[in-house]
Amino acid sequence: MKKSIAVLPGDGIGPEVIESAINILKVIADKCHHTYIFNYGLIGACAINKTGSPLPEETVDLCKTSDAILFGAIGDPKYDNDPSAKIRPEQGILKLRKELDLYANLRPIKIMPELADISPLKKEKIKDVDIMVIRELTGGIYFGKHERVQDGNSAIDISQYSKFEIIRIANMAFELALHRNKKVFSVDKANVLETSRLWRETVNDIATKFPEVSVTHMFIDNAAMQLIKRPSEFDVLLTENMFGDILTDEASMIAGSIGLLPSASIGDKYALYEPIHGSYNKAAGLYVANPIGTILSAAMMLRMSFKMKKEAEIIEKAIHQTLKKGFRTRDICGINTKKNHLTNSKEFTAYVIQGILDSNPS
């Protein structure tokens, strides 16, 4: 099978974790007799530096003509430290989500048994954690009106949602719940926000179409607490844009590191896959960043966009085998990690590749 992949490495550690994923995909392609064509595009700070835009039109066109998109990371401290900057790297990924209508962000939160010791929570609390966060990705405060009042002493950010936007993301959450534990936890702030009241009303309307699925409404502050107190009780966690951004970073620490988790941003026509971590510019070029989240994102791409379940499982199994052998990057070292098992991202990827080569594709 032949597939074209738009590759957007982005900034900071993005290029090196993407390099790991690409090397893995090349091995899988050879082993399972596929052809993956990788076409690279600019986005973020590197795109601003070269073109003046965080998302050049060439990159949008590349994404629209590819079978899937693999994205690294975005951001640069020089923009973070300059509140007056009009053009920012993050505008690139926000615009791409809007251009491609990638309205649903799927972030699975699972515990790797081999890494249970690096979670800040007790093992008995996390052993059965298996959460699918579904975050609405193209609405809310990130895409509302942003304005600095003329005198500079006040600012406005508007959060806006339409019923249509809530309906399509809620439908996806309930559909997914049908194939899991049939529980949806919907997060809002309906005691304060009008958008949250519309959110809750609409989710309740959708719930009537899925009588076999239970729905629980939670205020965002309570949801943040319960994720730590009883994470194993969650199933599908449905949330609007900003709440989802915050909760998934919190949930990543249940697994032990933000570098472990993959994600998929999907719409009706296009799909983008990326690790949930940021650009971590201090480590750029050092090859110390954990590539697991990016490699698992590539596996999600194979499973969801290309319907290559076997290939995705080979990658996932090779990661688990590498971890069982004790090999770790710096961010996922536990107290029992041996010094000779501490690896950089290139070495870790090489061990995963060896596991793929040793596997039986049948």
Q: Which residues are catalytic?
A: 142, 189, 221, 245, 249
Cβ atoms of 335 and 309 closer than 8 Å: no
Residue 275, phi then psi, degrees to nearest 5: -70, 160
203 CB-contact burial (10 Å; exposed 0-12 / middle 13-18 / buried 19+)? buried
Cβ atoms of 257 and 112 closer than 8 Å: no
Token code pair at residue 19: 């390099």
Determine the 3-state secondary structure of 65 from DSSP.
coil
Token code pair at residue 327: 């090999």
Alpha-carbon distance 305 to 270, whole Å?
A: 9
Q: Is the dihedral of CA 141, 143, 149, 153 positive or negative?
A: positive
Alpha-carbon distance 130 to 213, whole Å?
A: 17
What's the full length of the chain, in residues? Answer: 362
For 140: left if phi > 0, alpha if psi spans -120 to 50, otherwise beta; the answer is: left
Cβ atoms of 281 and 11 closer than 8 Å: yes
Alpha-carbon distance 247 to 188, whole Å?
A: 12
